[in-house]
Amino acid sequence: MNERSVGIVKTQFYTLKVPFFLNSGNFLEEVTVAYETYGKLNSEKNNAILICHALTGDAHAAGYHEGDEKPGWWDSTIGPGKAFDTDRYFVICSNVLGGCQGTTGPSSINPSTGMSYGLSFPQITIEDMVNLQYEFLKHLGISRLYAVAGGSMGGMQALQWAVSFPEMMQKVIVLASTAISSPQQIAFNEVARQAIMRDPKWNKGDYYDGEFPCEGLALARMIGHITYLSDTAMQNKFGRDVKDESMFQVESYLHYQGDNFTKRFDPNSYLYLTKAVDLFDLSNGKSLEEGLKNVKADFLIISVSSDWLYPSYQSKEIVEALTLHDLKVEYREIVSHSGHDAFLLEKGQINYHVSSFLEHLSVRNVMLSEVPTIDEGCSLEEAAQLMISKNTTHLPILSPSGRISGIVTSWDITRAVANKIVSLEDVVSRDIVTTRQEESLFVAAQLMEKYAISALPVVDENGCLVGILSSDNISALMGKKAD
């Protein structure tokens, strides 16, 4: 366990004191919520961030349970100094309504019968999940959230939060998700549900006192895992490797994932949760612009380049609809071969983008303020010697007034030597791209990419040099956030 972990944590439970009513008009007489928290709620109670989990996730998002070797499912982003910095924020994650990891769901005991609900559990929606989270947060004394964040089904919850309670959060982060489930997404979920229901042991959902429908649930999970990985990810991970004479490595992987899943998940919960995902449609049969007309939060929408389950176009549709309402929206596409699972795996990119959004990281936060410089008239040899002694690759050239007038790089020096150029003036760059301290770090990085440069001089309002931003600075930040 490293110093940036939240350490040993315990799942807590809260039971509502009144019946919980669903959008359908049905109600649950008794509802328990399983949850975990990390960090401390400040005296103003304005530093809370709600994390919403994906389809088969749970409340254990970070840290370690006593005796466990693996941390929570999003431990790479939650903890001291990470994107969801527990030195600054009070981070909360609860198991969703209909789940099977401590929150009331089909496997829970119906107080009216003393038996598991099974299929007598009412159909639920993403909105019902969010409404329960709202009631639970009142128990914690939280009336306003700093942010709501989630990926996949968790992203749907985050979007629903913005629609249902537009005044309650300042920021919303949606990763690898959609505002409207597509026919293809519904189709995959239906095949998975049929795999469960066609297992003879499913027994119309009444299996809690009998044999568990493991084969059907394992097959459903195998189908799911195929959609979570991209073609490239499968090729890189498995190729056509053979585990033994009768089975490819990819087959073995799917069998392992399916069989292992049956040890921790309830088949009926899988049915209910996938159906809630299918029913999710923030357009309400009209337009997404109309469905999002009342939201007020700032948004960060993240997609994954290789995600074919929730492709980038669906994230862009959300961005377009939000932009039409003049909201502050940032869109990032993670470049990854990992497919849908990249929102869990690409910890460097995720931490960088999320922390930049939450903390408003600017050039000032990352730039080097002590920068070796040279004056006009400096010789090529003097510049080379200074680069070596200061271990730097970029030397801004300053005029007598302190304004930057040029820049020379180690590549310029190399080119001069190779071409037997003796004058520094013949290799120096005079057409300089600069940035300001208050500029967004992301915008500055985009500028560096646009002009294919690895360093960006930082100047004040008078054009005087105050620092330098390098690609190494940004890479170091991403690496630090990913540790």
Domains recognised in the chain with CATH numbers: 12-180+280-360 (3.40.50.1820), 365-482 (3.10.580.10)
* Distance between first and last Cα of the chain: 12
Q: According to the model, what pLDDT value does residue 293 have?
A: 95
| 307 in catalytic set | yes
Q: According to the model, what pLDDT value does residue 476 have?
A: 66
- All residue ranges of the chain with pLDDT < 70 are 1-3, 360-361, 476-483
Q: According to the model, what pLDDT value does residue 366 have?
A: 82
Q: What pLDDT digit, counting tens, does each position of 85-129 carry? A: 999 999 999 999 999 999 999 999 999 999 999 999 999 999 999
Residue among 225, 337, 340, 353 flagged as catalytic: 340
Q: Both tokens of residue 230?
A: 């991209």
CA distances, 210 to each of 117, 200, 202, 205, 214 (Å) = 15, 12, 9, 11, 12
Asked if 192 contacts 274 with a C-beta cutoff of 8 angstroms, the reply is: yes
Exposed / middle / buried, residue 302 (Cβ in 10 Å: 0-12, 13-18, 19+): buried
**What's the rounded Cα separation, in Å, for the pair 254 and 260?**
10
Q: According to the model, what pLDDT value does residue 385 have?
A: 93
Q: According to the model, what pLDDT value does residue 359 have?
A: 77
Q: According to the model, what pLDDT value does residue 482 have?
A: 44
**What's the rounded Cα separation, in Å, for the pair 329 and 327?**
6
Q: Both tokens of residue 236?
A: 């890189």
Residue among 75, 128, 307, 341 flagged as catalytic: 307
**What's the rounded Cα separation, in Å, for the pair 85 and 230?**
30
Q: Both tokens of residue 23?
A: 């959008």
Asked if 383 contacts 412 with a C-beta cutoff of 8 angstroms, the reply is: no
Q: According to the model, what pLDDT value does residue 319 have?
A: 97
Residue among 94, 107, 116, 152 flagged as catalytic: 152
